[in-house]
Amino acid sequence: MLYDFHIVDVFTSSPFAGNQLAVLPNAEGISVEGMRLIAREFNFTESTFVLPPTDPAHNARVRIFTPRAELDFAGHPTIGTACALVSNGHLTDRELVLEEGVGPIEVSVRDHNDCLAATLTTTTPLASTEVRPTISELASVLSLDPSQVTEGYFASLGVDFCFARLASPDIVDAATIDPPSWQQFARNAWSSNMFFYSGNPIDDETLYARMSAPAHDVSEDPATGSAVAALVGWVATQTKHDVHVEVIQGAAMGRRSEITATARVGGDGGLQSVEVGGPTRMCATGQIEVDESFLDRP
C-alpha cells in the first residue's frame, strides 16, 4: 500500500539546512513495527506518523520515531509536522493542538518569508534531579579537559537530557564523544543524551550547541528542540525568572539550525510554560510502499 510522505527541513528557512524530518500525513493502518522500520528506512533523527486524534477537539495525533525507538515528545518533529500539514493542505487551521506522548501540544503556525514557521507551547512539568553530573565525568565523556567544562545538570520536558555548559564555541566544536567513557557514564546517569553548549542563558546570550544521543543511534543532531525546551525550563526554575534564548545548532555539520525558546514562570516562581519555535522549509514530497505485513489488520 502506498503512503504519502513529505520531507521538511526544520529550524531553517534556507534550503538543505536545519534538521531533516519525514512526515507521513495519513499514517492510519501502519503497525508500530512498520512505523519503526519506516523511520529506520528514512534514517533521519526522527520521522512522524500522523493519525486521527483521540479527542475530536484536537487536530491530529502524532507518533514520533527515531531509527531505533519511539519518543513521547520532540521539538523539531512537532514544529516540522505542523508546518508540513498546513503547507500541504492537510490542515486548514493554523492554531493547532497535536496529541503526543506527553499529552496535547499547542502549535501556532505563521508565514515566514517564503516558508512557514511554528511555535509550540508545552505545559509539561519539568523533570530533573538534584544529582548533577560531575565536571570530571562530563570532561571524560566529551574528551575535554575539566577546565573547559563550566557546569552540568539533568532535565527533561518529555525527553531526558544531560546538559554540559562549555567555556566557548570552539570547545563545543572540539568536543567528541569518547565511547568507553560514555558507556560507563550511561550505566548510572539520569540521562546519557548529551547536549553541550556555550553561552549563558541568564544573560540572554545566543547559545552555540551540539547534541549527541548514542543510545538512540544519533551520533549528532542538527537541531534538538526538546533539549532547548528543557534547558530554558531548568534555568527558569533556578532563577525564578522568565528566560529567553536563541540557539545555533548543527553549524559544524553543515546544517545550521536556529531555534528560539522562552520559559515563563508564574508569580510563585514556578514554571508555567515553555515555547520553542522556528521556521520550516519544504524539501520533497513522495510516496512510500508499505508491505501488508506492516499494516494493522482489524
Give the active site residue among 46, 99, 137, 275: 46
Long-range contacts of 29-33, Cβ-Cβ distance < 8 Å, separation of 24 or more: 29/1, 29/295, 29/296, 30/3, 30/290, 30/294, 30/295, 30/296, 31/294, 31/295, 31/296, 32/70, 33/294
Residue 239: helix, strand or coil by DSSP?
A: helix
Is 130 an active-site residue?
no
* Pick from 215, 190, 64, 65: nearest CA to 127: 190
Contact by Cβ (8 Å): 222, 209: no
Q: Which three cell numbers stand for residue 207?
A: 547559545
Which backbone phi and psi does 77 adopt, to 5 degrees? -65, -35
Residue 275: helix, strand or coil by DSSP?
A: strand
> What residues are annotated to the active site?
46
